[in-house]
Structure 1
């Protein structure tokens, strides 16, 4: 958004430093991109006075002029303009001046006469397309002054980046409000001196609106007897400073009001409007319409049109039609000022690739209560610049009048969120400075009515933002937030902390973390034989390969496997902590999310640099990893394993349970599925329910055990038993022997003698320790004999 400093000063009397103004508005959320001089390229043009003008002796169409430019000597300039004459004030480019298009003025000889400059036309200076002759300036200008100073042209234009929610700042008025608020200055609105003359516009044209939701308000004024001509200089110069090309007085007024007050307007040639009717209605699918840029557009039923009694005459909020535009011969104007549904305008402009200054404002929202004022000011300016007469009254249809929006405001709550301690009077001053009406009869909870220009004020928290914004977000001190609970009252950890624990475990045992998209293709899920029931389809997918939210982590991990194999990596150890998504009619979002842990093993058990053979990872590897997670890392009970038949993509498949609750699955990917992902070896997968594991972990009571202070005493025992006797059975008997001094039991070795097929040797290490004293050998031997006796009594073993 370009903002002229001089134009801004017509609303607020700001006389401070321009950089201070830019910085202050930036801190209010209106980021300053730069400050420019729009007329920098004509800064060396001066005001000259044609003292003498004679015909060139060698060229009939050339004139030899003697021009006073305020220097000690006059200049001789050869000019080819037909309208140059003695006594004129003209813009002069002296020798050395660089013209806007880049040409440098040099001394020249034209048909034998030397020329020391150039008398300029408006087109040569970039003020219009007029090139019929030189630009004749007002006789009151001082000779020798720079043209930019003589004409009081704008020298300072701010370029601000406006966020989409601040539609109120798409005008000079919007920035004037912010400046007045920031520097505690008065705001002055333009004076309205509208003179009406006879008739009633409401009788001359009727306004119909088919759908009030698409057009809450439409107003039309009529100006008769206009003369289409060049706009006055003051208007043209303002438009040029903000990058608008002047066209004619009628069109320029609509652009002027849009830049000044933020309301897009449109001027129809009234004589082209049939049946004295304006109707706001949707287009018909496939219909053609030619806009002002002479391009024929194909419309849909979602596009909104302005119709007369028989035909469409404009794309509502986007661009007018060529069949109703103002012509040089037009004498009667129908001036539109309306409010359109932002979403409708946005979709039409995007679909047709037809952005305009009007659609840019309509699609962000305009001030409905200001539309009539903007229309009246525009009608006044049109009448003053064209000699026309404004018909009395307004043809209007406002099916959805503006209603004030009221919000509660709790000052104590605001201060708590912002971390400030401001007086309530500060907040009240901010709200009233923004045009809000404040009812503070209840000191604890005010009622604040927001103005129609501030469409972004929708909730109480928006008012909090305004207080912080005006105070200065950069001025809010950085302090640590108050902790509402002590550590003793906090029960359990956070989901984030638990997930971090799982990720620490995964990286700690040598797995690499995979991060995959949450959406996959339906084909990926079908390939793994996963049911279509429960899938969450994406309304606007990036591609068909990503058209559904994942219901399982396996597709992502297998695609990661495929990519790694394509890059020559054959030793793959992956884990992923992510959510899966399934439909849930009872959920507010109709979707439920479940946190899962996926683990994938493929290729040699050890990396290539290890010299221990090339055995591939198998069931024991992935089973060991998951036991390590459950028992060693999460400190839960040892899991149980049971075979699951007919799993969708795992065969064999083993279910893992803890305390009879299922927590996940372990298995080998079916061969035909693994083959699709280019796997030539077994692919082992684990899928665990982290939500269930988290509940189990948090349900555990953590107990403190003092660190031992006395040394341990260890005894090894080798048990000889049948091959069918498991080590866990032997360990259970040892632990149940009732020896209080025993601290731990550990299996340290297995040995099967050559030729022996019926028995094996299992060596256990038993650790004894007393919490109160150092044990003597006699005490340890006594306890150790109890263990040996229990083994011989309970099991078919010998030593």
Structure 2
């Protein structure tokens, strides 16, 4: 929106240069796109002159030779082509050296052989109007030689504001003036709509019917008679031109002027062309047609609003009027309409008709119902002043004001908590009052009444805090370094994930990337019971649900490679899986009341099949990929992340019974390890497949980039081997955990090196390493620890030392 500063200063004068004012507005959240000068760029050589004589040009019928007094006894000879120039007129004159609005510099010249020492100006030559039919005739009491800029707004600074959709109140001169008042503290004059010459009550002879109140919450109208259509005065044209509007005639210019000043679009009907003296607001019918003011016939749909008379549509509601009832040079009766329309509907209508106007661009931002009567008040003043009209008593007002103002409590401690600095309560009140909020101080808080024009924007306490912050000065708020990592580099999580991938690549795996979508029958093939999220618009039926595991994607990739002759395959994938609720826990009360977003988890999975290494002359039959090979790869991975982990017996239905385990990190189950069940592998025509899958979410917090170090020692350690009979259902991991727990500080390592099974029992042999950093240990020193280990295995695992 353009904000001409000479118009704005009617209501507020901040006393700042345009660039400084733009900077201040930017700091308070009202963005200024650019600052420019409308009209001439240099004021020199533009003066008031008086035509002393006018004579016919000797060689041109349509030219006149005038002698013009330009002050201090100077007289300029000017050749003029205007038909209305006459002796005695006071006019605007551009002298040689004047720079015109288009950048051209005026020079002395000869026109048909007669020297011309300047130009008598028409309004379009100064960009304060469009009329070029004749020169401007100024007031007779003006003194020759007076700078023309003192008489006419031939050069005005303009701020072009980028108003966001939540601030339609700033799409008006007075609204922007209030924002300048709030930003600078400069005094604000009362709004121009406080004086309303209109009369309330029934308006005789005018019948308005609103059949679609959801489309039109408020419809107001006033009737003027004895209207005289003419050109608008220069001051009004200049304001419209500086605002980017084209002057047309006094009535149409009044509607545009009031819209720019108050933010309320108006529409003027030639009441004598409204059939039946009756207007109805209704929804259009599919295929209904009407011709708008731009001469285009438009086809409407049933979700578009219309204003109709007894002969049919006469205006597209809130967008553009129709040709049938437009104001013409012969118009004598005008119905001035100021209505309020549903914003989202206006936006859809404008888009579908490819017709966006200044009115629709305001209405689509959901204007307050109250400003309709603001527009009526100002337009009534101007209609009486500029058209010589007589106001018919009465005002149509269907719908009335909007809902009662909202009151919001603004707590002082909340302001301090969110802004990180104290803003005195009195200052908070003053800043909000500048924006026309009603404020009552209750001691530790403010009771704030939201004005109608901010009803849709300010709905919560935090919205008020935002208003306080931007006016107090965002530059005054303390600077705090961000808690998250700096941009432009990998986060800690990204670096750890990259290290995990590098570790698997180093272990001989290749990375695969699969779809996040899969077929609904994938869960059956994998024997998974986690419900999958169904897509509303799937790419195909085979990609219609979100995956809950990476296993299916990896099995598909392994089959693809095996089917093409690759017998020994090692693949891993890192990607997201999705659950329809927070996975692995119950919903909170808040989540149960709402519809939570899908739970997205980052997983890392790996699969291997075939031989662990190629056959050679020394090893003609290398071992096949199995549980222990997968565990070795997992050990490499978690070792690279420096994560302490363990495994417990698993029973997942997609894993081979007896060759399945769950991975434990930090006491939490984070995934599976084992061989894929032969029945599951056969669904992909595969043989023996082993692998693992981890949920990286709970794993990465336990990872560490920095390795743990201990002092080097020159003292030798003592290694001892112990073998235990334990029940067959006990695992080596359980044995290692018990041994570590009982071994004390001198026990530095435990390693299972032999397994032997017999009916009902398993023999597990472990190698223990004892070491001290300051001395050589003796067998007598470690004997008590060894005895504690044997006792712990006996009591906790029902095991016994093997003889």
Q: TM-score range by the shorter chain?
A: 0.7 to 0.9
SS at match of 1:90: strand
Structure 1 match to 2:178: 177
Deviation of 1:249 after TM superposition, in Å, equals: 0.9
Structure 2 match to 1:486: none
Deviation of 1:231 after TM superposition, in Å, equals: 0.8
Deviation of 1:451 after TM superposition, in Å, equals: 1.2
SS at match of 1:219: strand
Deviation of 1:21 after TM superposition, in Å, equals: 3.2
**Aligned pairs (5 A) from 1:590-605:** 591-599=597-605
Structure 2 match to 1:337: 338
Distance 1:532 1:333 in 2: 70
Structure 2 match to 1:713: 717
Contact 1:201 1:222 in 2 (8 A): no
Distance 1:331 1:555 in 2: 81
Contact 1:630 1:637 in 2 (8 A): no
Distance 1:627 1:240 in 2: 77
Q: Does residue 1:506 correspond to 2:500, yes or no?
A: yes
2:594 is aligned, of 588, 594, 608, to 588
Deviation of 1:395 after TM superposition, in Å, equals: 0.9
Assess, with a 3 A threshold, how the Cα gap between structure 1 residues 81 and 594 changes in structure 2: closer, same or farther.
closer
Deviation of 1:10 after TM superposition, in Å, equals: 1.6
Deviation of 1:104 after TM superposition, in Å, equals: 5.0
In structure 1, the gaps of 5 or more residues are 483-495, 607-612, 699-703, 720-725, 751-761
Q: For 1:735-783, what per-residue CA distance to the aligned partner results, in whole angstroms no more than 9, with x for missing partners?
A: 5998776431347999xxxxxxxxxxx9986421258953137867999
In structure 2, the gaps of 5 or more residues are 484-489, 562-568, 613-618, 724-729, 756-763, 794-798
**Aligned pairs (5 A) from 1:180-579:** 180-188=181-189, 189-190=191-192, 194-195=196-197, 202-398=203-399, 401-440=402-441, 442-444=442-444, 446-455=446-455, 456-478=457-479, 503=497, 506=500, 509=503, 534-535=532-533, 537=535, 550-552=546-548, 554=550, 574-576=573-575
Deviation of 1:785 after TM superposition, in Å, equals: 13
Q: Does residue 1:12 correspond to 2:23, yes or no?
A: no
Assess, with a 3 A threshold, how the Cα gap between structure 1 residues 505 and 91 changes in structure 2: closer, same or farther.
same
Distance 1:267 1:419 in 2: 52
Structure 2 match to 1:743: 748
Deviation of 1:628 after TM superposition, in Å, equals: 5.5
Distance 1:773 1:13 in 2: 88
User: Mean alpha-carbon deviation: is it higher for 525-534 or for 305-314?
Assistant: 525-534
Contact 1:266 1:335 in 2 (8 A): yes
SS at match of 2:647: coil
Assess, with a 3 A threshold, how the Cα gap between structure 1 residues 106 and 40 changes in structure 2: closer, same or farther.
closer
Distance 2:326 2:171 in 1: 25
Q: For 1:357-396, what per-residue CA distance to the aligned partner results, in whole angstroms no more than 9, with x for missing partners?
A: 2222222232322321321210220221111111111111
Assess, with a 3 A threshold, how the Cα gap between structure 1 residues 54 and 335 changes in structure 2: closer, same or farther.
same
Contact 2:533 2:580 in 1 (8 A): yes
Distance 2:31 2:2 in 1: 12
Structure 2 match to 1:723: none
Distance 2:357 2:407 in 1: 33
Structure 2 match to 1:610: none
RMSD: 5.6
SS at match of 1:275: helix
How many residues of Structure 1 are paired with residues of Structure 2 in the alignment?
A: 739
Q: For 1:6-65, what per-residue CA distance to the aligned partner results, in whole angstroms no more than 9, with x for missing partners?
A: 222222343344444333332221123332211135745623433332222222222223
Assess, with a 3 A threshold, how the Cα gap between structure 1 residues 706 and 620 changes in structure 2: closer, same or farther.
closer
**Aligned pairs (5 A) from 1:537-686:** 537=535, 550-552=546-548, 554=550, 574-576=573-575, 580-581=579-580, 586=592, 588-589=594-595, 591-599=597-605, 623-626=631-634, 633-640=642-649, 644-645=653-654, 656=662, 663-664=671-672
Structure 1 match to 2:727: none
Distance 2:634 2:128 in 1: 78
Q: For 1:95-144, what per-residue CA distance to the aligned partner results, in whole angstroms no more than 9, with x for missing partners?
A: 45454445554444433333344434333443434332333333344434
Structure 2 match to 1:491: none
Structure 1 match to 2:486: none
Deviation of 1:452 after TM superposition, in Å, equals: 0.6
Q: For 1:532-582, what per-residue CA distance to the aligned partner results, in whole angstroms no more than 9, with x for missing partners?
A: 97535468x9x99999884447599889999xx9xxxx9986523675556
Contact 1:71 1:144 in 2 (8 A): yes
Contact 2:570 2:609 in 1 (8 A): yes
SS at match of 1:202: coil
Deviation of 1:660 after TM superposition, in Å, equals: 11
Distance 1:279 1:532 in 2: 58
Structure 2 match to 1:123: 124
Contact 1:228 1:249 in 2 (8 A): yes
Q: For 1:321-364, what per-residue CA distance to the aligned partner results, in whole angstroms no more than 9, with x for missing partners?
A: 22222222222111111222222222222333322222222222
Distance 2:76 2:363 in 1: 53
Q: For 1:487-535, what per-residue CA distance to the aligned partner results, in whole angstroms no more than 9, with x for missing partners?
A: xxxxxxxxx9996796376256366999999x967x7778998999753
Contact 1:668 1:685 in 2 (8 A): yes
Deviation of 1:263 after TM superposition, in Å, equals: 1.3
Assess, with a 3 A threshold, how the Cα gap between structure 1 residues 184 and 735 changes in structure 2: closer, same or farther.
closer
Assess, with a 3 A threshold, how the Cα gap between structure 1 residues 29 and 555 changes in structure 2: closer, same or farther.
farther
Distance 1:252 1:579 in 2: 60
Distance 1:381 1:623 in 2: 87
Structure 2 match to 1:22: 22
Distance 1:451 1:692 in 2: 50
SS at match of 1:428: helix
With normalisation by structure 2, the TM-score equals: 0.75
Deviation of 1:237 after TM superposition, in Å, equals: 1.0
Distance 2:115 2:397 in 1: 65
Deviation of 1:402 after TM superposition, in Å, equals: 2.9
Contact 1:674 1:683 in 2 (8 A): no
Distance 2:711 2:334 in 1: 94
Contact 2:439 2:446 in 1 (8 A): yes
Distance 2:54 2:377 in 1: 47
Deviation of 1:686 after TM superposition, in Å, equals: 5.5
Deviation of 1:419 after TM superposition, in Å, equals: 2.5
Contact 1:122 1:130 in 2 (8 A): yes
Q: Does residue 1:147 correspond to 2:148, yes or no?
A: yes
Assess, with a 3 A threshold, how the Cα gap between structure 1 residues 370 and 794 changes in structure 2: closer, same or farther.
closer
